[in-house]
Amino acid sequence: MALPTRLKLDIRDQWANEACELQKAFRQIQQIIGTEVECAPDWPLLWTELKSFFSEPSTFIPSVASVITIWCNSFCEFVRDEQKEQKWVEQVENVLSETNKLRISVEIARKEFPSTIWAEEERAFIVFLPKSGPRVPSDIASSIRPDMLGCFKPLDLDAIRHFSAEALPEDSWANIEVDSTTGSAQEEPARVSRSAVVRPIITTLPDIYIMERPDFLTLKPPYHLTISSAFQNIIRVQCSHPPTLMLLEKYLKKWTKRELNHRKQLPAALLTLKESPFGLGAIYTALEIKLQDSSSYDSTPMFVVSFVQSMLGYTLTREDNAYWAFKRETAFQS
């Protein structure tokens, strides 16, 4: 996906130029908090998604730069007003002490105005651009500022990134609750949309220019999941439905024991979400579960096999030694 020359010049002059307003805003943040700012948008993907809203390409880069500049100015204002926003500033200091860098990721959401969240897994602030043309600065600020102050509040997975209810088809997620007394999870009966039951017969290859992004396509059933344990103490879960992997990772992380015999009492299991090279933003395609070296615990895939069947409603389609394949035809309700 090559960028037009016009955009490359605009990136050079209105994004990367040390004299532009955006770079001044980055330096202002660094002067206040003593931490470098990292913001490197995936321009080809952003342009592919938003070019239909910019009849004049020369307004695209300045529009994105304006959103990020306003984000930076709002950030600086809140940090400076430490007396009023003390708790928020403390949370910022905590996350920056772990990353030593202020990371800003730029993505897209189907919202009317720009928005922002703190993504714990990426350890970054995500600024979502709306699927629309340029917005006036006052609208951008009034939309971003409340989001920024509330960005450290706990969020459901379906409120994060492209999995938000406003951003996605209604088949994106499930209502799964955990009983605090029994520890068992309950899934409410899924509302199945007509498209999840009756699929059109595809007789011709679709046009790639009108197809949805991979991160939207992964939310459509059927969902496929595999579990393998080919190596000692390593379990690998692959799934076509990213929210399934994210739920599994969060659930296992919540209940992971500590290596009490280790002086640092490290988590007994290392949980790593693997990201797809395709799409816009992070799309997770696999979860790797690995025991610490010299761990006193034993790890088998059988709990995960049971979990995806009993708690998530996947149906076993194949079993072969240390390999299991599952499928779910019904969409999770949003």
**What pLDDT, in 10s, does the model give residues 186-205?**
444 444 443 444 566 777 88
Of the residues 128, 155, 182, which one is the last residue of a structural domain?
155
Looking at the DSSP assignment, which residues form a beta bridge with residue 102?
37
Task: Determine how β-strand 102-109 pairs with β-strand 124-130.
Answer: parallel
Which of 155, 187, 209 finishes a domain?
155
Clarify whether residues 205 and 324 are in a common domain: yes
The whole-number pLDDT of residue 282 equals 77
Per-residue pLDDT band for 22 (boundaries 50, 70, 90) equals very high
> Do residues 146 and 219 share a domain?
no
Query: Within this chain, do residues 145 and 236 fall inside the same structural domain, yes or no?
Result: no
The rounded distance, in Å, linking the Cα atoms of 223 and 240 is 6
**Does 12 share its domain with 123?**
yes
pTM of the model: 0.55
Can you give the pLDDT at residue 49?
Answer: 87
Return the amino acid letter for 135.
R
Residues 150 and 205 in one domain: no
Q: Are residues 251 and 114 in the same domain?
A: no
33 occurs within a structural domain:
yes
Contact 195, 292 (CB under 8 A): no
Same domain as 138, residue 22: yes
The reported pLDDT for the residue numbered 26 is 95
The amino acid at 49: E
Instruction: Please indicate, yes or no, if residue 162 is contained in any of the structural domains.
Output: no
Residue 95, domain member (yes or no) = yes
Residue 107 lies in a domain: yes
| Inside any domain, residue 160 | no
3-state class (DSSP) for residue 273: strand
Residue 287: pLDDT band by 50, 70, 90 thresholds? very high
Instruction: Note whether 220 and 100 are same-domain residues.
Output: no
Q: Give the pLDDT band (50/70/90) at residue 334.
A: low
Residues 199 and 146 in one domain: no
Does 322 have pLDDT greater than 80? Answer: yes
Q: What is the pLDDT of residue 31?
A: 92
In angstroms, what CA-CA distances link 148 with 83, 118, 264? 17, 8, 34
For the stretch 217-270, pLDDT in tens is: 898 899 999 999 977 779 999 999 999 999 999 999 999 998 877 777 888 899
Asked whether residue 39 falls in the same domain as residue 128, the answer is yes
- Identify whether the C-beta of residue 289 lies closer than 8 Å to the C-beta of residue 308: no
The answer to whether residue 133 scores a pLDDT higher than 90 is no
Average pLDDT over residues 1-15: 88
Amino acid at position 276, single letter: S
Supply the range of the domain harboring residue 85: 5-155
When divided into structural domains, the chain yields a total of 2
Task: Give domain status of residue 165, yes or no.
Answer: no
Both 121 and 201 in a single domain?
no
Of 32-36, 61-65, 188-192, 240-244, the one with minimum mean pLDDT is: 188-192
Q: What is the mean pLDDT of the chain?
A: 82
Instruction: Answer yes or no: do 71 and 27 share one domain.
Output: yes
Count CB atoms within 10 A of the CB of residue 280.
Answer: 19
Last residue of a domain, one of 155, 178, 210: 155
